[in-house]
Amino acid sequence: MNPLVIVTGGTKGIGKAVIERFLEGGFDVITCARNDKDLFSLQAEMLTRFPNSQLLYSVSDLSLRADISSFIAFIQSQNRPVAALINNTGVFIPGQVHNETEGTLEKTIETNLYSAYHLTRGVLGGMMTEKKGHIFNICSTASITAYPNGGSYCISKFALLGMTKVLREEMKPHQIKVTAILPGATLTDSWKGTDLPVERFIDSRDVAEAIWSAFSLSPGAVIEEILIRPQLGDID
């Protein structure tokens, strides 16, 4: 049986690229997203491309606490150790603290921070029993650099990086690795409709490859943070 990883928000962008990389590497993957049709199409595509690996999915909106609990139950029902958890689910709503629509902070925090917090707590028990595993949190350059139209997004990503740092310290005695991924502008649906050329962006596959490389280190080493920017620099 193949080892198992979990990738949230797996139908597009970084999540999909990470799924492809781990399936290619001989892993089975559990993923989730809100759209059943997208998940079904992803599963069919991955089965064709990687027939020796399995992609399982659950229709879940991880901004909702009840859906997180259901997703955790789905993972636990597989009764398999989890080699890695990649917390990728996220939302970006542009705006500023002083003029954002009411509720933007709550929605952003629930999606970008609480989903990772609760899902990690649901998976860690098994990793601690096994004394191995790797948690990846998809943070952002917005976790370390505030920008004027970042508003609640920057707040949530700063918090996610803080959670990652705390978790790293907690998990050292349990032999569980924790890594923050901080990508700059990556060519995903967040940039849909942009007039900028593709070379101004990071390719999602490069982020996936960085995660795979960090995961592949020997047990005695961990990469705590990976900061990835477009070669031509940040996009203002």
Please give the average per-residue pLDDT across 208-233, as a whole number. Answer: 96
Q: Which of 222, 203, 106 is nearest to 164 (CA)?
A: 222
- Tell me, what's the pLDDT at 185? 81
Per-residue pLDDT reduced to its tens digit, 198-219: 777 889 999 999 999 999 999 9
Residues with Cβ within 8 Å of residue 177, at least 6 apart in sequence: 133, 134, 135, 171, 222
Phi, psi dihedrals of residue 76, rounded to the nearest 5°: -65, -25
Reply yes or no on whether the pLDDT at 126 is more than 80: yes
Q: How far apart are CA 92 and CA 108, in angstroms?
A: 7
Amino acid at 191: W
Domains and CATH numbers, the chain: 4-228 (3.40.50.720)
Which of the four pLDDT bands, split at 50, 70 and 90, describes residue 189? low
Per-residue pLDDT reduced to its tens digit, 55-74: 999 999 999 999 999 999 99
SS3 content of the chain, % helix, strand, coil (to 5): 45, 15, 35
Beta carbons of 179 and 225 less than 8 angstroms apart: yes
Residues of the chain with pLDDT > 90, as a percent, come to 86
Q: How far apart are CA 5 and CA 214, in angstroms?
A: 14
- Tell me, what's the pLDDT at 56? 98
Q: How far apart are CA 167 and CA 176, in angstroms?
A: 10
- Tell me, what's the pLDDT at 25? 98
Please give the average per-residue pLDDT across 221-225, as a whole number. Answer: 98
* Distances in whole angstroms, Cα of residue 25 to Cα of each of 4, 36, 88, 196: 11, 26, 19, 33
Please give the DSSP secondary-structure letter assigned to residue 113: I
pTM listed for this prediction? 0.95
Strands 55-59 and 82-87: unpaired
Q: How far apart are CA 8 and CA 19, in angstroms?
A: 9
Per-residue pLDDT reduced to its tens digit, 104-121: 999 999 999 999 999 999
